[in-house]
Structure 1
Amino acid sequence: MTHTGFGSKLFDGLNYTLLTLIAVITLYPFWDSLIVSITPLNESIASSIHLYPKTITLEAYQYLWKLDQLWTSYKVSILITVLGTVISMLATTLAAYALSKKDLPGGRVIMFAIVFTMMFSGGIIPNYLVVKQLGMLNSVWAMMIPAAIQTYNLIIMRSFFVSIPESLEESAKIDGCNDFGILMRIVIPLSMPALATISLFYAVSKWNEFFTAVMYITNKDYWPLQLFLRSMLIDNEASFQSGGDSPFLLGQSIKMATIMISTIPVMMIYPFFQRYFVQGVTLGAVKE
């Protein structure tokens, strides 16, 4: 009994130590970015490891604050995150509910075609031509409509809907409820953990939108925040290598301050949804 108790305490100790080490390794890059963003250039380049700031300066943030393009990109990112998540959730929920019905004509074929896209896609050029023909180049719709449904999220949502007892839907039908009423009054209220989880997946994906913006957006008025960040990093590097005296010579401070500005909003929202993660994904993994 004593040996068992010692083994359990030893395991707990090693487990906590390992998890603490992983947490430190995971959080350090963020901490390093924060420290460098408030540290003068000469101090930030003096050491490759930054545990605390010797001198604090907000010059990088003050410079970014005055950039009109930053706030334009912020508005675009907020728009595509909010509206894009709503569009994606609406499309994913309706598609998953329909595909969860075993009596759906051609349901298996449709599901196979959807899963097939996880392994093979049409390619960048066909996607670009489709977006161009639809007239969505240089518009926020190019970052929301083409990728409105992500296959992985659709599969999770469909599996969750399948796990809901059919008896509940049958009872609702007896009471005169149609399919849309069943979805709104029974399925969705029971699926809040999964909906919250998938919503966060979509929101983070939309907030980090970069590749589609590079492909479809050339007008700076429609740049999302991540594309602005890329521009800042490129301009900063070019200015630094040329030895000029522009504000970009704040160097690493500008880079890290821009990264912090684009990261903090997601970090502020994440804790409110994090508790749904395990429950939502686990319930979505129930076998048919």
Structure 2
Amino acid sequence: MVMAQYKESLGDILFRYLNMIILGLLSLLMLMPFAKVLATSFSGPNPVDAGEVYFWPVQFTLESWSYVLKQAPLWNSFLLTLFATVVGTCICLLVTALMAYPLAKGEFKLAKIIMVMVVITMIFRYPIIPYFLALRSYGLYNSIWVLIIPHTISAFNLIIIRTFFKGMPKELEEAAQIEGCGYFRLLFRIVLPSSKAVLATLGIFYAVGIWNQFMTPLMFIEDQALYPLQLKLREYIIFTDMIAEGPKVVLPYNNTTLQATTVIFATIPILLVYPFLQKHFVKGAMLGSVK
């Protein structure tokens, strides 16, 4: 039986195009600050100081980038942040999946009680002082692992992947169990390979959160050799004399162009990852948010 082709009404067409226009304008509005900072990083110091740079470089130069990319402490912070992001994201996805899978099973009697406790953590935040004392007692003060361990499980991400697991066909798991699969083998051989969309979505959430974290390293890391990228970025922006070579020297860059370059340097890596996972992002968010 061939279904009749749906014909859009004039109101539907207007609504669709109006949405496109509004979303397009909002996208441009959100891109404007990034475009200005990017243009500043490629501009000369004189037009920047004169306020002539908006969304296109003036007196185009790569001197600011050349200077910033030669900073060994910045690369050290970049590598530390990259390690924490990659390793932390893998650990977070593994632990979240291991916790969400039993909570998605109706035969697990404590699932509802545990989920109530998980939701409570989303409503009531922990006090800062007990949180600080607890993590310090675990030996995480001035440790790179403080960038990973406190973020191991997110209640929001746990709910998303649990909902996704609950929506998987029971017949698939029952067939695997008949063949002799235990729960762990079932999870790693059947469930997780079928959950690439939601795992990619949660991977983006975890990676962006770890990459951009600021308060945790600010509280727990005192050694500058362990500064992640965001703390190093703060250091370069606030203490401008650390990246300037002196006011009496004529340079092809200034503090403003160097700060803009450092901001873009810290932003680009996480932006480059998103296009490769974009096709999974919307699908995973929708599948994991509704049952």
TM above 0.5, yes or no, is: yes
Question: Residue 55 in 1 paired to residue 76 in 2?
Answer: no
After the TM superposition, which of the residue ranges 13-22 and 147-156 deviates more from structure 2? 13-22
Query: 1:231 corresponds to which residue?
Result: 235
> RMSD over aligned Cα, in angstroms?
2.4
SS, match of residue 265 in structure 2: helix
Q: Distance in 2 between matches of 1:9 and 1:151?
A: 39
User: For 2:151, what is the secondary structure of its paired residue?
Assistant: coil
Q: Is the 8 A contact 2:230 2:266 kept in 1?
A: yes
Indicate which of 60, 77, 82 corresponds to 1:78: 82
d(CA) in 2 for partners of 1:253 and 1:151? 40
| Identity between Structure 1 and Structure 2 (%) | 39
Name the residue aligned to 2:4. Answer: none
How far apart are residue 20 of structure 1 and its match?
2.4
Q: For 1:111 and 1:27, how far apart are their aligned partners in 2?
A: 38
Aligned to 1:187: 191
Counterpart among 146, 149, 153 of residue 153 in structure 2: 149
Partner of residue 22 from structure 1, selected from 8, 23, 26: 26
Other structure's SS at 2:289 match: coil
Matched length: 283
Contact between 2:44 and 2:59, CA under 8 Å: does it hold in 1? Answer: yes
Aligned-partner Cα distance in 2 for 1:100–1:91: 15
How has the CA–CA distance of structure 1 residues 15 and 48 changed in structure 2, closer, same or farther, with 3 Å as cutoff? farther
Task: State the partner residue of 1:173.
Answer: 177
Work out whether 1:128 is the aligned partner of 2:132.
Answer: yes
Aligned residue in 2 for 1:276: 280
**Structure 1 position 65 matched with structure 2 position 61:** no
Any idea what SS the aligned residue of 1:27 has? helix
Taking the TM superposition and a 5 Å limit, the aligned residue runs for 1:1-40 are: 10-40=14-44
The alignment's TM-score, normalised by the length of structure 2, stands at 0.90
* CA distance in 2: counterparts of 1:66 and 1:32, whole angstroms: 23
Aligned counterpart, 2:122: 118
2:208 partner amino acid = V
**Deviations 1:204-241 (CA, angstroms, capped at 9, x unpaired):** 1111121111011011111111110000001128999x
Partner deviation per Cα, 1:48-89 (whole Å, 9 max, x = no partner): 761322201222212212211101101101100011011111
Mapped to 2, the partners of 1:109 and 1:41 lie a distance apart of 60
Structure 2: segments with no counterpart, 5+ residues: 1-7
In 2, Cα distance between equivalents of 1:267 and 1:193: 19
* Residue of structure 1 in register with 2:163 after alignment: 159
1:199 maps to 2:203: yes
Whole-Å separation in 1 of the counterparts to 2:210 and 2:56: 33
In the superposition, the TM-score normalised over structure 1's length comes to 0.91
Residue in 2 that maps onto 1:93? 97
